[in-house]
Amino acid sequence: MRQVCYGCFKMVQDGDNVCPYCGYHIHQDQDLLHILKPGTILNQKYTIGKMLGEGGFGITYLAWDNNMQIKIAIKEFYPASLVARDTSSVGQTQIYTITQSGSGEFHQGLERFVREASTLAQFFKLPGIVSVKDFFYENGTAYIVMEYIEGITLKEYLKLKGGVLSVEETLALMKPVIESLAVIHGYKLLHRDISPDNLMITQDHQIKLIDFGSARYFDSQSDKSMTVVLKHGYAPIEQYSSNGHQGTWTDIYSLCATMYRMLTGRIPDEAINRIRSDTLAPVHSVVRKLPGNVAQAINRGLSVMAENRQQTLEELYRELYMSRQDFRATKRSRIYQGINKFLIRLIVGIVLSLIIFSIVWIKRNEISDAVSQVAEKFVTKEDENLRASRNLEEDKEEKKQEEEDDESDREEKERDAAKDTEDPAETEHDEVMQDTQRQTRIEPEDAEADESGQPQDAGSQKYQMMRSGAESASALDDSVIKVKNGQLNNIASGYTVGEILDLYSDTEGQWYIYGDTATSKQYVYYEGRKGDSSFVLEFEVYENNTFKLTGAMQDDQSVERYSDFFQSILDSLGF
């Protein structure tokens, strides 16, 4: 009679307690009542063999695929703190939750276990990761079917090699693990349990990362709190708390801790003991002839604080496998690429600018005509009415001024008629006063010749006489400030009179003030130049802080329609 060895699934003689092929003690697992008995059939096609390992979240068995006739590994979701099972009775394989309150937590973990298994099934082609072939529900829990790796753990391999490996062998073994794990990180999945126990060395000297029972999604709302999983010496500080901020940097710490063990033969000090006093010896102080970039990468990856480590496996890979010379060459290449992109964009921008400028220059006349047509559309009937209203007001003011002048002449004639009856001394005094007052009012018949021999008109002589008694305006003069800072009604909104005149004048204009003692009126004058011509504008300032344009001169000649002259200034400025 022959029987199956559940340690290698080879046929041995009935009655043998130890397999001559693998050395398995055939009855060694029978005392563990929560372990499935060897020979149990799962999913109608998998025969359970010996137990390969047990952790806080599951039990891994060697199994035989009855259809494919190959060895496989099956992992059972079995969180020991929540469930139990008694296989002492024949056919008893069901598990049950220990407490009623633990039922909810168990089912949450079960759903996550299956979800992560289905995700891992997508990565069966990755060289550094154990491939997942199938999963199914049974016995009140779930199972993951994985490839069975013929080989030994990295921990066992290190013992065979005297505890340490060379730099070359370490980097060669870990390269496919880092590359494959980087892909898994791209799916927001962490392993969280990387150590020499969970790395298998195959018979053809390949390495595989196994046991994703502690794997969890990161950067998701459902995993804000993670179960504490610790491999002392290999777990970073954030794994000591269920609320620790775990991410890609968490697996990076464990990978660097594993490489530290491979190179030095020492297990790194526990991260929690390194917070106050970090006595961990840098890897380059233990290993001789270690390339600087490798030492720097491992030391950085073992930083206690997560923010000081590499943040992605791509970054760790570059630091480990790229020499300083290659790194500098790559950096220079990226700099040159950046410069080239900048120059290309600059050249394209210049060319486009020249094309646009050329088009505008060629079409400038058409554009100017179009702008003029648009501007004309904004000259509405309301603007014309406003201008007509303003001219009407000016005519009324001129008529009122003429009536005042006539009244003054009448009063002067009455005073002349009364001179014969007055005291001679008083008459002489009045004549002096009248002469003084007469200087402020120049009639057309009093016009005199200027230096060129040409007669001056009344307005010009009036301005010259007033200017002889005027004072240069200071910045603080109230009358000048009223005019200079004043604004026109509904015209050139936002601009003051001073700003308008300074914009029109080619040189900085001069302000003058004059007080007419006869009429108690206050006048402000602005004198400027436009081209070869000089011009003067006269403003009368009232006590209620208002003012009005009352006269204008150009080239020392009075402008009869001064309102039109001022309007021409506004028109030339586009107001």
User: What string of DSSP letters covers 411-468?
Assistant: HHHHHHHTGGGS-HHHHHHHHHHHHHHHTT---GGG--B-TTSPBPPHHHHHHHHHHH
Whether the pTM exceeds 0.85: the reply is no
For residue 477, being part of any structural domain is answered with yes
* Final residue in a domain of this structure, among 148, 175, 203: 148
Cα 57 to Cα 43: distance, rounded to the nearest angstrom:
21
102, 125: one domain: yes
Residues 363 and 501 in one domain: no
End-of-domain residue from the set 115, 148, 181: 148
pLDDT at 273: 93
Between the alpha carbon of residue 191 and those of residues 171, 216, 250, 287, the distances in Å are 20, 7, 9, 28
| 204 three-class SS | coil
Claim to verify: residue 304 and residue 444 sit in the same structural domain: no
| Strand arrangement of the beta sheet that strand 510-516 belongs to | 471-472, 510-516, 521-530, 533-541, 547-554, 557-558
Same domain for 208 and 253: yes
Angle at Cα 29 formed by Cα 62 and Cα 198, nearest 5°? 45
The pLDDT value recorded for residue 453 is 42
Coil, helix or strand for 139? coil
Torsion of CA 387, 393, 395, 401, to 10 degrees: -150
Q: Provide the CATH number for the domain around residue 297.
A: 1.10.510.10
Cα–Cα distance for residue pair 261/280, rounded to 1 Å: 12
Structural domains in the chain (count): 4
What residues make up the domain containing 246? 152-322
Residue 283 lies in a domain: yes
For residue 534, give the H/E element and its range.
strand 533-541
Q: What pLDDT is recorded for position 266?
A: 95
- What H or E segment, with its residue span, contains residue 512? strand 510-516
CB 233 within 8 A of CB 220: no
In angstroms and rounded to an integer, the radius of gyration of the C-alpha atoms of the chain is 52
Q: Residue 455 domain-assigned? A: yes
Give the chain's residues under pLDDT 50. Answer: 220-226, 228, 324, 378-382, 421-456, 458, 474-476
Per-residue model confidence as pLDDT tens digits over 432-462 = 333 333 333 323 333 334 444 444 454 555 5
| Same domain (yes/no): 350, 226 | no
Contacts of residue 173, defined as CB under 8 A and 6 or more positions apart, other chains included, come to 154, 165, 201, 207, 262
Asked if residue 565 and residue 511 are part of one domain, the reply reads yes
Same domain, 565 and 481: yes
Domain shared by 508 and 488, yes or no: yes
Cα angle 344, 345, 347 (rounded to 5 degrees) comes to: 65
59 and 158 both lie in a single domain: no
Quote the tokens at residue 252: 């990076």
Helix/strand/coil for 161: coil
Look at the block and give the residue holding tokens 């997560």.
306
* pLDDT the model gives residue 162: 95
Say if residue 365 is exposed, middle or buried (CB neighbours under 10 Å; 0-12, 13-18, 19+).
Answer: exposed
298, 322, 346 — which closes off a domain?
A: 322
Q: What phi and psi, each to the nearest 5 degrees, are found at residue 134?
A: -165, 165
Tell whether 315 and 179 lie within a shared domain: yes
Regarding whether 314 and 343 lie in a shared domain, the answer is: no
DSSP 533: E
Determine the pLDDT at residue 281: 95
On whether residue 347 sits in a domain, the answer given is yes
